Structure 1
Amino acid sequence: MMPESMMRVPLYQIDAFTDRAFAGNPAAVMPLTDWLPDELMQRIAAENNLAETAFFIPKGDQFHIRWFTPTHEVDLCGHATLATAHVITRLLQPGRERVEFDSRSGKLTVTQDGDKLQLDFPVLPVLPANDRRDAIAGCFDHRPVEVHNNDSYMAYLAVFESATVIRKLKPDFMALANLEKDVIVTARGDNVDFVSRFFAPNHGIPEDPVTGSAHCLLAPYWAGVLGKTRFHAKQVSPRGGDLWIELAGERVRMSGYSVCVLTGTMTV
């Protein structure tokens, strides 16, 4: 018999930025009526052991969302927001066309985009940070051509010479863990506009399969390089994922598919 102090919390697992199961980036999504203690939410995220666990509560006709890696609460997460919108619009309130979230990064909206869902996130412009090239080069078996940075985002953007290099790049996770920030690596694409990977050992995520928030930096960088504002991007992690992106002023619109692979409850 379950003790009176225990409760059952709904749990969903969604593969985001993919149209098939067991690809893209898996996120746990847990609807709540009120926030659990922060320490408990962090322990739940560690138990789920996915790149992100998203918790959300109703806020009028909107929702408040928070994201936890296995070790930290974070300010912004794309794939877990997409996953949460999937749970709301496909499972809890089927047919809903628009979801608004209040978050640590301000208002975020998700709308239906055909069979995909489209995130509306803030642009995070980057500036050269080539003084970090040596430090980042020491974390990989290739040297980046350029390094960029956004002060508010906890990752460097390292540009390499080709998509082939990005796919074959071998990270030194111990060296990466000694950096003060995570690392996004990117290059021009072959069959897409650009490719990327994301390494975050300091946040308990050696390699993130598909990172929506990283494209808040990638979109303005590649707009400047390619001279365009619409992109098809691919994150070429072992699981892989696709994003269709539009740079619209100070906002980045990212569309992607999503698939529910698990529904259940967690006893806490």
Structure 2
Amino acid sequence: MAPITATVYNAFTSPSAQGNPAAVIVLDSPDHQSAAVQDGQDFPCALFPPDAQLQSIGTQINLPMTAFVLPLPGGSCAEYAVRWFNATNEGPLCGHATLAMSGHLFNMVARPPPTFRYLTRFHGVISASQHQNPLGDGKLVGIEFPELTNLPPVPRGSETWAQLKSLFEEATSSRWQGPGEPLGVYKQDQFLLIEFSPELDLAGVQIEPQNLSSLKSYVYIFQISAQSSEQIHSRVLHSFPGHADEDIATGSAHRAIIPHALGNPETRARLEKYHPQHEGDALRVAQQSRKGGELVVQWLREDKSVRIMGRVDPVGAKTVEASEN
């Protein structure tokens, strides 16, 4: 058994938000004779350690996510390939761990480029840069993910609406009536987007994610904030059998939330009502988990992507045993 050390960061922190922990492991470069990985080719799984080894490391580290970052040969479509593993399985895309590894690379790489490009297994090439905060002073690390838009609405009164109502009323302390009834529900494949009224105390809603595991979905819950300090409040649930929990602070969910808040006419009207001075396509988000997270998210309409920005703070290191096989 060979020890391996991971660097741990908290992502999406602020003075009032602890952020979401993630581990970052930069793997050794592949053999110098390895061929460059071109855009459109299959993801180079063979250049990584075996899946069982990556999963074992992720399980031992036991954080919400561990990012495994692999330098790619020169001439490749990206500087790095990346895979994400939590304690139980591989994640297809992870915002907070990508923010953590980007902050790590910008600090550790000598003369870093303006932008790092990452080849992912399921979502092609994504990128990360340092940007001026569009809603404040200073710079933030920003990652760009493809937008998730046009989720079909669930008709109110439909069988699906009734099923969701029953599940959520069992899993939460809130009834789907009055301020507790969603203003809109949208569903496609494994993604469920729910908007609640600004009048609802979203942070105070008690949610048991395991009671929603039959949904087999990523559940993105949000409201237009009635507070002046941020425009959006969000909560994010992973609701799958054997893996049901609430995410502390996540970027990937907001590739659906922010385009909806800015692009849906009814939701945009609520935004303008509560934040009449707001301009542009960047919104400040307070994710209202137990530890809390703060994000600045900008919708890049022409690029059909979102830029997810936040602070990254170092925590320390964790050393685990990694099998040689």
TM over 0.5, shorter chain? yes
Evaluate the alpha carbon distance shift between residue 54 and residue 194 of structure 1 in structure 2; reply closer, same or farther with a 3 A threshold. same
Residue of structure 1 in register with 2:152 after alignment: 127
Q: Which has the higher strand share?
A: 1
| Aligned AA (2:85) | F
Evaluate the alpha carbon distance shift between residue 67 and residue 156 of structure 1 in structure 2; reply closer, same or farther with a 3 A threshold. same
Q: What CA RMSD, in Å, does the superposition of the two structures yield over aligned residues?
A: 2.2
For residues 208 and 82 of structure 1, what CA distance do their matches in structure 2 show?
Answer: 15
| Aligned AA (1:64) | A
Report SS of the residue matched to 1:212: coil
Residue of structure 1 in register with 2:6 after alignment: 11
1:247 counterpart = 2:299: yes
| Aligned AA (2:127) | T
Residue of structure 2 in register with 1:106 after alignment: 124
CA contact (8 A) 2:237 2:247 kept: yes
Q: Which runs of 4+ in 1 moved over 6 A?
A: none
1:184 counterpart = 2:220: yes
1:90 counterpart = 2:107: yes
For residues 222 and 172 of structure 1, what CA distance do their matches in structure 2 show?
Answer: 26
Report SS of the residue matched to 1:178: helix
Residue of structure 2 in register with 1:216 after alignment: 255
Match of 1:197 among 230, 235, 253: 235
Give, in angstroms, the shift of residue 163 of structure 1: 6.5
Evaluate the alpha carbon distance shift between residue 175 and residue 264 of structure 1 in structure 2; reply closer, same or farther with a 3 A threshold. closer
Residue of structure 2 in register with 1:226 after alignment: 268
CA contact (8 A) 2:117 2:127 kept: yes
Give, in angstroms, the shift of residue 42 of structure 1: 1.2
Normalising by structure 2, we get a TM-score of 0.74
Identity %: 26
Match of 1:29 among 17, 21, 24: 24
Match of 1:141 among 155, 173, 181: 173
1:259 counterpart = 2:313: yes
Deviations 1:97-130 (A, max 9, x none): 3211000211110001243101111001122134
Normalising by structure 1, we get a TM-score of 0.89
Evaluate the alpha carbon distance shift between residue 92 and residue 8 of structure 1 in structure 2; reply closer, same or farther with a 3 A threshold. farther
Which is greater in Rg?
Answer: 2
Aligned length: 261
Unaligned runs of 5+ in 2: 29-46, 133-138, 270-279
Match of 1:43 among 31, 48, 56: 56
- Which segment is superposed worse, 34-43 or 74-83? 34-43
1:75 counterpart = 2:100: no
